[in-house]
Amino acid sequence: MATRIRPSTKRCAVIGGCGFLGRHLVEQLVEQDYTVTVFDIRHTCHLPGVSFHQGDLCDKQALFTALKDVSLVFHCASPPPDSGDPALFHRVNVQGTRTLVEACREAGVQKLVLTSSASVVFEGTDIKNGKEDLPYAERPLDYYTETKILQEKIVLEACHKQKDFLTVAIRPHGIFGPRDPQLVPILVDMARQGKMKFIIGDGSNLVDFTYVENVVHGHILAAEHLKQDSPLCGKAYHITNDEPVLFWDFMSKVLVGLGYDAPRYHLPYMLVYGIALLLWILTLLLGPLVTIKPTFTPMRVALAGKHHYYSCARAKKDLGYQPLVGLQEAIAQTLSSYTHLQRGV
Ligand code: NAD
C-alpha cells in the first residue's frame, strides 16, 4: 500500500500575505527557510521565491488549489477596520474563515494560525493587564470586532474536530511598523487637517502598541509550538510589546518625530464619545441615502481614551515568547521608514 507523504512542516500559506502584517510575516518566513505561498485578493506583492495565488477567501476552489501540499496556514486576511461595511466584514471574516477551515481540512492542512485581535474582549471600558480568559465582548463597539469574535470562535472550535487538524489564535494589539497603511498615515493625515490638537480625556490611559516584528515572531512561535497534545490547541494568545505606554505619549512621539505638533488641549471623554455615538447613529439612519465616514467612531474614541493593555504571560509560558524589539527602538525604526510623511515633505 502506498504511504501518503506528508508535506514538509515548512510548507506554508499566508492568507492575506500582501497586507501590512502578512507581508512582514512572509518575509520572515522566507528568511527562516519556509516555502511560502501567498493567497490574497490583491495582486500587489511579488516576492522572490514566493508563489502567489490571487483569489477571494470565500472561494473554496481557489483556496483548495493554493493549499495543495501545504501543511501550515496563517490566516491574516481581513477588510480594514474603517471600511465600515457590515456585509463585507461578515462575508470575509465569518463566511470566508468558515470556507478556509473547510478548505484546510479537505486539503490535508495540519495547522491553522489565525490573526485575531485583542479587541475581541474590548467593549469600551478599561482593560488593565487583561488575560485571555476575559469573556468575549457582549456588545462590541463595531462590526469589525463583532466579526473578529465570530471568526476566532470558528477557528478555535475547529481544533481537534478532525484528527490531525490543530488551530490557535494570536491576538495582537495596535500593530505598528514600516509600511503600515493605517496608524501612522491616518495620524499624519489628521495632523495635516488640524485634527490632532486635542487629547481625549485626561491623557492617563495606558495601552499596548505592538511592533510588527514582534507580532510576526509570535505567529511563527505559535506555529512551531502547535502540536498534538500541546497546550496551544484551540487557545488564544495575546502578543504585545509587553510595555504598556500612555496612548497620548505614543501619539505625540510619532507626531513630533515627523515634525508635527503634539496634541495639547484636553476634551472631556464623555463629550467626544457622545458626539461619536450620535454621528454613528446618523450614519446608520442616513446610510441608505448618503455615505458619511466619520473620523471619530465610538470605537476610535474608546481606544483613544480608555486603558486597554493585555498580559502576554500565557504566550511567554507556552510559546517562550519575548518581544524581539523594544518600544523605543520600534518607534525609531518606524519613524525612519516614514520620512516621506514628514511635515513639509
Ligand atoms: P491589511 O489590510 O494590511 O491586510 C489584510 C490583507 O487581507 C490585505 O492584503 C487584503 O487584500 C487581504 N484580504 C482582504 N479581503 C480578502 C479576501 N476576501 N480574500 C483574500 N484576501 C483578502 O491588514 P493588517 O493590518 O495587516 O491586518 C492583518 C490581520 O491582523 C487582520 O486579521 C487584522 O484583523 C489583524 N489585526 C490587525 C491589527 C492592526 O493594528 N493592524 C491589530 C489587531 C489585529
Give me the DSSP letters along 65-127: HHTTT--EEEE-----GGG--HHHHIIIIIIIHHHHHHHHHHHT--EEEEE--GGGG-SSS-E
Average pLDDT over residues 171-187: 96
How far apart, in Å, are the Cα atoms of 19 and each of 59, 312, 338?
19, 24, 17
Give the percent of the chain with pLDDT over 70: 97
Residue 163's pLDDT band (cuts 50, 70, 90):
confident
| Element containing residue 275 per DSSP (H, E) | helix 269-286
pLDDT at 7 over 60: no
- In percent, the amount of the chain with pLDDT more than 90 equals 85
Mean pLDDT of 251-276: 96
The per-residue pLDDT for 293 is 72
Which residues are catalytic, by number?
Answer: 144
**Strands laid side by side in the 206-207 sheet:** 127-130, 308-310, 206-207, 245-246
- Let me know the angle formed at the C-alpha of 189 by 187 and 192, rounded to the nearest 5 degrees: 110
For residue 335, pLDDT beyond 80:
yes
- 115 lies in a domain? yes
- For residue 301, tell me if it sits in a domain: no
Any domain includes 269: no
Write the CATH number for 161: 3.40.50.720
Question: Residues 6 or more apart from 311 whose CB is under 8 A from it?
Answer: 129, 130, 131, 238
The answer to whether residue 162 scores a pLDDT higher than 80 is no
Which of 59, 175, 180 has most ligand 1 atoms within 8 Å of CB, for mutation? Answer: 175
Overall number of domains in the chain: 1
Lowest average pLDDT, out of 40-54, 210-224, 232-246, 282-296, goes to 282-296
Q: Is 66 in the pocket of ligand 1 (CB under 6 A)?
A: no
pLDDT, position 305: 97
- Report the length, in residues, of the chain: 345
Ligand 1 pocket test, pick from 15, 20, 61, 187 with the greatest ligand atom count within 8 Å of Cβ, gives 20
Q: Tell me what the mean pLDDT of segment 189-218 comes to.
A: 96
Q: Which domain holds residue 149?
A: 11-180+210-240+310-325
- For residue 90, the model assigns a pLDDT of 97
In-domain check, residue 32 = yes
At residue 5, the pLDDT reads: 44
99 lines ligand 1 (CB under 6 A): no
Which residue minimizes the CA distance to atom 33 of ligand 1?
78
Angle between helices 327-337 and 247-257 (to 10 degrees): 40
What would the pLDDT profile of 88-129 be if each residue is shown by its tens digit? 999 999 999 999 999 999 999 999 999 999 999 999 999 999
Q: What's the 334 CA to ligand 1 centre distance in angstroms?
A: 19
> What is the pTM assigned to this prediction?
0.94
Classify residue 108 as exposed, middle or buried by CB count within 10 Å of its CB (0-12, 13-18, 19+): middle
Best of 26, 53, 76 to mutate for ligand 1, by most ligand atoms within 8 A of CB?
76
The amino acid at residue 19 is G
Structural domain contains residue 34: yes
Nearest CA to ligand 1 atom 1: 19
Instruction: Verify whether ligand 1 is closer than 6 Å to residue 213 (CB atom).
Output: no
As a whole number, the mean pLDDT across the chain is: 93
Cβ–ligand 1 contact at 142 (below 6 Å) = no
Q: What pLDDT, on the 0 to 100 scale, is given for residue 251? A: 97
**Residues 215, 175: contact at Cβ < 8 Å?**
yes
3-state secondary structure of 23: helix
Residue 131 — pLDDT band, cuts 50, 70, 90? very high
Cross-strand partners of 54 = 40
Please work out whether the CB of residue 130 comes within 6 Å of at least one atom of ligand 1. Answer: no
Q: Is the pLDDT of residue 281 over 60?
A: yes
163 CB-contact burial (10 Å; exposed 0-12 / middle 13-18 / buried 19+): exposed
pLDDT score of 2 more than 60: no
**Is 124 a domain residue?**
yes
- Domain membership of residue 162 (yes or no) is yes
The neighbouring-strand residues paired with 167 are 112
**Grid coordinates representing 211?**
511592533
Question: What are 30-89's pLDDT values in tens digits?
Answer: 999 999 999 999 977 788 889 999 999 999 999 999 999 999 999 999 999 888 789 999
Interval between CA 164 and ligand 1 midpoint (Å): 27
Q: Is the pLDDT of residue 1 over 50?
A: no
Q: Ligand 1 centre and the CA of 22: distance in Å?
A: 7
For the cut 80, the answer to whether the pLDDT of residue 294 exceeds it is: no
User: Do residues 24 and 177 make contact, with C-beta atoms less than 8 angstroms apart?
Assistant: yes
State the pLDDT at residue 8: 61
Q: Is 56 in the pocket of ligand 1 (CB under 6 A)?
A: yes
For residue 123, being part of any structural domain is answered with yes
Average pLDDT over residues 266-274: 96
